[in-house]
Structure formats: C-alpha cells, structure tokens
Structure 1
Amino acid sequence: MSLGMISFLALCVFFIQVPQGQTGCAEVESMTEAVAGESFLLGCISCKRREEVPGSAIVDWHFKPAGTEEFIHIFQYEYPFPTTRHENYEGRLEWQGTIGTKDVQIGAIFIHNVTYNDTGTYLCTFHRTLYLLLDEEHVIINKEVELTVVEKANPELTAVISEIMMYVLIVVLQLWMIGVLIYCYRKIYAENEAREARKAARSQNKFIDSKDPCDGVYLE
C-alpha cells in the first residue's frame, strides 16, 4: 500500500473518531437521587451564549432543607478558590466545575458522605460578567436541583433504556466506521488502478511516437 493511501485512510479515521463541535457546551440536567453514605455529583451547567465575548463568573450554591423555607449559603467558587460556606458541609464539598479560567461554564460540585439531611433543594447561581467593547454586562442564572437521598440506588427504566441505546449506538458507529474505511480503500485502489492504466497508456504512446517512420522501408 502506498504512502498516499495510508495517509488518506488515516485522515478518514481521524474525521470518524473526532466528534464535531467537540469544544461545544451542552446544558445537561443534574441527577436527583443520591445514595446515603456515598458521593453524589450536583450538576450545574450554564453555557455562555456569546462565545466570542470574554467573560468571568462566580458560582454560588445554596441549600434549602426539606420542609423549610430559607436557603443557606453552602459553597462559592470564585476563580481560583473554592470555599465551603457552611459548617455542615465542611470537608464534604469538592469543586468539579471549570478550572484554569475565570470564564466558568460548569459549576458542578461533589457531595461526599451523603446523609439523609442532605435531602432538599439546591440552588446553583452563576454571577456572570461579559466584557463587551464599550461596557460590561452582568447576568445572573439560577438552576435548581431537587435532591432525594435513598438507602439503595433505584435504576430508572429510562436510565436502563438509555444505557442499552448507548451500547447499540456504539456498535452501529463501529460498523459504520468499518464501512467507511472499506469504501475509502476501494476508492483509492480504483484510483491507483486508473492512474497506473493511464501511465501505461502514456508509455505505450511515447514508444509508438519514438519509432522511426522509415523502419521497414527498403529502397531498390
């Protein structure tokens, strides 16, 4: 197989394996059921609508226990420092959001050693500042998560179906990838065959043109 064919096949594999829009942001909802004694990820994503505009964000988490009316401030992330704001959560909260930049879009946190007292409403707040050319724009985004703590995980039917569909999709994509590679190989092989045929034809024409027109002519 020629170097050009190998390079083309590698390029095909690259475009198949690399997802389009890899650096995009998708606002996925948080899970809402935690298991007592384990860790739980409180998800919170707020995608910036104007990617070309630089910005920064401070993320606050508040908690309202079940059966109460007031929120308490439990956590804050202001680049680059995460800070636990309530003694009940000291040593139990871990920042899992955007790191390395002030332009925060993922504000997730881990709750370790979940207890039944963690049941309630969690409020995630983004205080975002957009640095426009002539001025600054301040935006506040709130997202709530209703958390229930259970003794044992209960897999939902939708979650099971989603997992099955994920594996089916993986198999389909692998088969599609193999089909594309076969198509690429056949196309390149056909092009190489056509190229070799054209080269042979050109060589034959040059050989005919180079023959002496007087060959085989005898004078008496």
Structure 2
Amino acid sequence: MRSWWHTSLYSVSLLIMLFVRSCWLVCVEVPSDTEALHGTNMKLTCISCMKREEVNTDTMVEWTYVSNDGKEISIYEYNGEPREVKGPYQGRLLWNGSKDLQDVSITIVNVTLNDSGLYRCTIKRYFNYEMHRPSVTDVKEVQLTVHEDEMIYCYRKILKSEEAVQENATDYLAIPSGNKENHSTVPVEE
C-alpha cells in the first residue's frame, strides 16, 4: 500500500511539474492599449511569440515613430541590449521587454499631445546556422491617441460604452405586428 501511495504521489508531482513548465512556455500576443492621458506613462505593448524553431536566434528590435507624412523616425533599438536613439524621445523611453525577447515593449514617460500617432515595432530574428543566417521579421503597429483632459477622456469612454449598450439593447426591442406602420418600439418584457 505504501509503495502505491509513493508511486501515485510521484506521478502526480511529475504531472504538476510538466504542467507548470508548459505554462511558462505559453506566449500570448495581445494588442497594445491605444489611448493615454496627457502627463501619464504609456506602455506600448509589442509581443512577438517565438515558434519552437526560433528559440536559437539572435533578436533585433527597432521601434519607430511614423510621422503624418509617412517618414519613420527611429526612437528605440535592441541589439543585444536596449538602447535609446538620439532624438525627440531621448530620456523619455523605458525598456519593458522580457528576457526571452518575446515581449519587446517600451514605455513613454510623461506622454504629451505630440506623442499621438503611429508607432511601429519591428522584430527581426536571425537563425544561427553554420552555412547561412536566414531571418524572420514581425511588425506590430500601435496607433496612439493622447487625450488632454481626463474628463474628456472619461466622457468619450462612457459614450462609447453607452453606444455599445444601446446597440445591444436594440436586440431586445420588438415591434408588435399591429403597430408596424407607426414605427413605435415597445420593449420586450421579461
């Protein structure tokens, strides 16, 4: 009986370890938040999950700001280590990337209205083969809108949620067949 107990406990422990280990390997690509309030910090999320064959690669990352006329301005790089690029964002960017370089996010400190616009995150992974170095590239974009006033920002959020509620509410309205000509709507009672 005791040996059965030890074998079962060992098996359960092994399964738990395998489950926990597999949980660590999970990567989920989530989109970045796209709205910020003037004067706050804003994380620009860029997650690029690696495929199994990409684990043994060298990763390079470039963050750029795309101006209204389409010109790309380099603002941050990662090539073995994170580095700010000299320019309008210098001193205002923080690296939020993970050690495994699947998350290569950055944070803009103290966002201003001028920070509104399109940001592009380009991840390039170079394979470490002896004869050649093929690569794979992944590009993510974040369209950032910076709001000046918290009240306006909150009002817009509330307005959007109310519009969504109204759209969903129309699914619960019914027009009785005898009243179709006068287009009056009557809520369905539960």
Same fold, judged at TM 0.5 (above) = yes
Match for residue 63 of structure 1?
65
Deviation readout 1:14-50 (Å, 9 max, x if unpaired): 94x9585222211111111111100010000111122
Question: Any gaps of 5 or more consecutive residues in structure 1?
Answer: 158-220
Query: What are the within-5 Å matches in structure 2 for residues 76-91 of structure 1?
Result: 76-80=77-81, 82-91=82-91
Match of 1:58, SS state, is strand
Q: Which range is displaced more, 134-143 or 109-118?
A: 134-143
Alignment partners' CA distance in 2, 1:127 and 1:79: 12
Report the AA paired with residue 122 of structure 1: Y
C-alpha contact 1:56 1:104 (8 A) present in aligned 2? no
Which residue identity does 1:36 align to in structure 2? H
Contact 2:93 2:106 in 1 (8 A): yes
Note closer, same or farther for the CA distance 1:143–1:31 as it changes in structure 2 (3 Å cut).
same
Aligned residues: 149
RMSD, aligned CA: 3.1
Are the counterparts in 2 of residues 53 and 132 from structure 1 also a CA contact under 8 Å? Answer: no
Residue 122 of structure 1 aligns to a residue whose secondary structure is strand
Name 1:42's counterpart in structure 2. Answer: 44
SS of the aligned residue for 1:88 comes to coil
- Deviation, 1:131, is 1.9
Instruction: Classify the secondary structure of the residue corresponding to 2:78.
Output: strand
Residue in structure 1 matched with residue 186 of structure 2 by the alignment: none
Please, which of 137, 140, 144 is the counterpart of residue 143 of structure 1? 140
Structure with greater strand percent: 2
Change in Cα spacing, 1:50 to 1:133, as seen in structure 2 (3 Å) is: farther
Say whether the 8 Å CA contact 2:54–2:127 is kept in structure 1.
no
Q: Runs (4+) of structure 1 moved beyond 6 Å?
A: none
Q: Distance in 1 between matches of 2:33 and 2:45?
A: 7
2:115 maps to 1:118: yes
Determine the C-alpha separation between the residues in 1 that align with 2:87 and 2:130. 42
The alignment partner of 2:23 has SS state of coil
TM-score, normalised with respect to structure 2: 0.65
Structure with greater Cα Rg: 1
Query: TM-score by structure 1 length?
Result: 0.57
Partner secondary structure for residue 114 of structure 2: helix
Deviations 1:190-213 (A, max 9, x none): xxxxxxxxxxxxxxxxxxxxxxxx
Give the residue type in structure 1 aligned to 2:89.
Y
Partner of 2:179: none
Structure 2, gaps ≥5 residues long: 162-190
